[in-house]
């Protein structure tokens, strides 16, 4: 099977599909260097780096980036702790409610974001919690758990249980076994899961529109920009940067989990 050559039409369709997937991304990258001020016209008018300088000087852009980074950091830490605990509890053995738990972890990203968002909003209102940084972070952490959980559960399943038994036989207690045997095995899965959780939180928009109140994360800033045609060049630059920031953790996560059967990032 492997030695066969693919028929030409299949190659064209497959590579054509890839071109389609990357075309808009390329367009955003090109427009970020366009000299024109307020239109989407093509062909492009000329090359400039001016908009990068202008974007970097904009207070609202910097504030949005800072908020998004902080939210993603908090969400990632919470997701790492909860996701690992869940994975450790769920990877082995069967007990009542296990399937329901697995479903519950996946539900916040399986259900449309608008449902999660509006549910959180109505709960925060009922509890009379003021919308702001913490409501955003709590929402993000909730749907990030599944990223860490999936990666760590896959690693737990691949890890031979005999390693843990050997450690106990050699006199280590549970904490020592965790620290010196289990944790090193989990390290790259944790890192990969954490990276994915970070990327997911960094560009989440739909749930955030409901939980943000007056705060403005980077995706919310971008959404708001779309109604401002005069500010197009700065929007293009920020769009390109957002894309680069999310691409990096995905690539790292892929490198870290390559060769394992459940590859990081294969589902969102």
Partner 1 sequence: MDTSPPVVLTPSLRPRTGLLRALSTFLYRRTTLFLLLLLTPPLLWFGIVYVGSLLALLTQSFYTFDDFTMEVTSTFTWANYAGLLDEANADIVLRTLGMAGAVTIASAALAFPIAYYMARYATGWRKGFFYIAVVLPMWASYIVKAYAWTVILSRGGIVYWGVEALGLLPALEWVLAQPVVGGSSLTTSTLGRFLVFTYVWLPFMVLPIQASIERVPGNLLQASADLGARPAQTFRTVLLPLAFPGVVAGSIFTFSLTLGDYIIPQLVGPPGLFIGTMVSTLQGSVGNVPMAAAFTVVPILLIGVYLTVARRLGAFDAL
Binding mask 62-91 for partner 1 (x = CB under 8 A): ----------------x--xxx-xx-xx--
**List 186, 222, 234, 256, residue binding partner 1 (CB under 8 A):** 222
Give 34's strand partners: 47
- DSSP assigned state of 34: B
Q: How many binding residues for partner 1 (CB under 8 A)?
A: 92
**List 62, 173, 183, 228, residue binding partner 1 (CB under 8 A):** 173
Q: How far apart are CA 246 and CA 9, in angstroms?
A: 33
183 in contact with partner 1 (CB under 8 A):
no
Unique residue bearing structure tokens 């054509």? 16
In the structure encoding, which two tokens stand for residue 3, read together? Answer: 């030695």
Q: Taking phi first (over 0 means left), then psi (-120 to 50 degrees means alpha), and beta for anything else, what does residue 172 get?
A: beta
Q: How far is the CB of 44 from partner 1 (least distance, A)?
A: 10
Q: From 48-56, 58-66, 151-159, 258-266, give the range in contact with partner 1 by CB under 8 A.
A: 258-266
Q: Would you list the DSSP string of 221-267?
A: HHHHHTT-GGGHHHHHHHHHHHHHHHHHHHHHHHHHHTTSSS-TTS-
Q: Smaller CB distance to partner 1: residue 13 or 57?
A: 13
Unique residue bearing structure tokens 């990327």? 199
24 in contact with partner 1 (CB under 8 A):
yes
13 in contact with partner 1 (CB under 8 A):
yes
Binding mask 111-150 for partner 1 (x = CB under 8 A): xxxxxx-xxxxxx-xx-----------x--xx--x-----
101 in contact with partner 1 (CB under 8 A):
yes
Class of residue 10 by CB neighbours under 10 A (exposed 0-12, middle 13-18, buried 19+): exposed
Q: How far apart are CA 97 and CA 56, in angstroms?
A: 50
162 in contact with partner 1 (CB under 8 A):
no
Q: How far apart are CA 194 and CA 199, in angstroms?
A: 9
96 in contact with partner 1 (CB under 8 A):
no
Q: Smaller CB distance to partner 1: residue 60 or 173?
A: 173
Q: From 47-55, 69-77, 152-160, 203-211, give the range in contact with partner 1 by CB under 8 A.
A: 203-211
Q: Smaller CB distance to partner 1: residue 50 or 125?
A: 125
CA dihedral 22, 24, 30, 32 (to 10 degrees): -120
Q: Smaller CB distance to partner 1: residue 188 or 198?
A: 198
């Amino acid at each position: 099977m492997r030695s066969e050559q693919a028929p030409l039409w299949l190659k064209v369709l497959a590579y054509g599909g890839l071109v389609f997937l990357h075309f808009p991304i390329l367009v955003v990258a090109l427009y970020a260097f366009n000299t024109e001020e307020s239109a989407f016209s093509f062909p492009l008018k000329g090359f400039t780096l001016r908009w990068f300088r202008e974007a970097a000087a904009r207070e609202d852009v910097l504030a949005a980036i800072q908020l998004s980074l902080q939210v993603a950091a908090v969400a990632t830490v919470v997701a790492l702790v909860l996701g690992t605990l869940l994975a450790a509890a769920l990877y082995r053995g069967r007990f009542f409610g296990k399937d329901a738990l697995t479903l519950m972890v996946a539900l916040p990203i399986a259900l449309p974001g608008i449902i999660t968002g509006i549910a959180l909003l109505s709960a925060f209102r009922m509890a009379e919690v003021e919308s702001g940084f913490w409501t955003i972070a709590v929402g993000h952490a909730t749907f990030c758990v599944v990223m860490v959980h999936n990666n760590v559960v896959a690693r737990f399943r691949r890890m031979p249980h005999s390693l843990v038994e050997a450690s106990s036989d050699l006199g280590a207690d549970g904490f020592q076994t965790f620290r010196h045997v289990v944790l090193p095995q989990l390290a790259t899965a944790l890192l990969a899961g954490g990276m994915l959780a970070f990327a997911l939180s960094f560009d989440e928009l739909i749930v955030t529109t409901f939980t943000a109140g007056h705060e403005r994360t980077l995706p919310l800033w971008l959404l708001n920009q779309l109604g401002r045609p005069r500010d197009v060049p700065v929007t293009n630059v920020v769009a390109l940067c957002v894309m680069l920031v999310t691409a990096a953790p995905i690539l790292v996560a892929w490198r870290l989990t390559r060769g394992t059967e459940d590859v990081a990032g294969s589902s969102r």
